[in-house]
Amino acid sequence: MVPEVSTARDYVPEPSVGRRFSIHTLVRLSDALPSSYWRLDGVARALQDAATEDWEDCGIVTDALWLARRTSFRRVGAWPVIYDRLKLTTFCAGAGAAWAERRTNIYVDDHLVIEASSLWVPVDPRGFPVRIPQMFHDIFGEAMAGRKISGRVPVTSPPADAPRRPWPLRRADLDVIGHVNNAAVWQAVAEVFDAPVESVDVIHHGSVEDGHYVELVAVARSLWLLVDGEVRVAAHVVFADAPDAGG
C-alpha cells in the first residue's frame, strides 16, 4: 500500500505513542502587545525554542541546520495574554525525503489554545538541502506513524500596483548563518497585524540576509517581503472580523 502524501497544512492530533517533547514558558513583557495579548512573533519564537530544545534533547549529531519553509498556527481557545504560563508540546507529524513536519500544541492551564504546524528543511553548512538521516526516523518515526508529506508550498505575489515600503534589517535580526531569523521575519507580520488572530500562515520562499534591501507589501490580510522585487516571504492572516492590514 502506497502511503498517502499530504500537501496541505494539516493539524494532525497529538499521537498516543512515540516521541513527544514539552517545554514550559510564559508570555513575557517583551512579547506582549499594549493590549496584553501575546504578539505573533512571540508565538513564532516560542515554537522555534520548542523545536530547538527537542532537537538538542534527541541526541542526533549532525552538521545540518533546520530552516523553516512554512509555519502556520490557528487559535482553538482563548488567546494567551501577558504572564500566562504556557506549555508547548511538540512532535513530528510526518516527513518526506528532505523535509519534515513538526506539530506543536500550546496550552494555558492545560487548555489547548493554539495548534501549530511547521515544515522544516535540513541544510548543510553551505545551505544546500540534505536528506533526512535514518536516525531521525528511528527517533521520530513512531509518532509519525508512516505519514508522508509534500515539500511543496503555495506561491503568491503581491498586486503589481500595491504600495511598497522599506523594511530595515538590524544586526539583532541575524542568526548564526547570517540569515534573518525566522522569529525576526515574524516581526514584520506583527508590525502589520495584531493578535489575536484566527489563523496565520507564513511561507519562506527564500532567505533574507544581511545587506539585503527589503521591501514590505501589505494588502488586506496578506503580506509579502521582497528582495530585488522577488518574494522571499509571504503571509496570510485570518481574523474573526477580517480587518484590513494596517496594524
40-58 vs 182-192: helix crossing angle, rounded to 10: 160
Listed in sequence order, the residues at least 6 apart from 134 whose beta carbon sits closer than 8 Å to its beta carbon are none
The kind and range of the H/E element at 30 are: none
Query: How many angstroms separate the Cα of 92 from the Cα of each of 59, 83, 101, 196, 204?
Result: 15, 28, 6, 26, 20
- The H-assigned helical ranges of the chain are 40-58, 134-144, 182-192
Return the domain boundaries, the chain: 5-149, 165-238
Phi-psi region of 95 (alpha: psi -120 to 50; beta: other; left: phi over 0): beta
- According to the model, what pLDDT value does residue 71 have? 96
Half-sphere exposure for 100 (CA within 13 Å, toward CB) = 25
- According to the model, what pLDDT value does residue 50 have? 97
**Beta-bridge partners for 217:** 224
Task: Looking at the structure, give the CATH architecture of the domain made up of residues 5-149.
Answer: Roll (3.10)
Residue 124 is which amino acid? Answer: D
In the CATH scheme, what is the homologous superfamily, with its name and number, of domain 165-238? Answer: Hotdog Thioesterase (3.10.129.10)
- According to the model, what pLDDT value does residue 191 have? 94
- The H-assigned helical ranges of 145-234 are 182-192
Q: Render each residue's pLDDT in the chain as its tens digit; 247 residues.
A: 333 333 346 799 999 999 999 999 999 999 999 999 999 999 999 999 999 999 999 988 888 888 899 999 999 999 999 999 999 999 999 999 999 999 999 999 999 999 999 999 998 888 788 999 899 999 999 999 999 999 999 999 999 999 999 999 998 898 877 788 888 899 999 999 999 999 999 999 998 998 999 999 999 999 999 999 999 999 999 998 644 444 4
Do 98 and 85 contact (CB within 8 A), yes or no? no
- 160, exposed or middle or buried, with CB in 10 Å at 0-12, 13-18, 19+? exposed
Phi, psi of 183 (to 5 degrees): -65, -30
Listed residue (15, 13, 20, 24) closest to 88, CA to CA: 24
> Is-same-fold flag (5-149; 165-238)?
yes
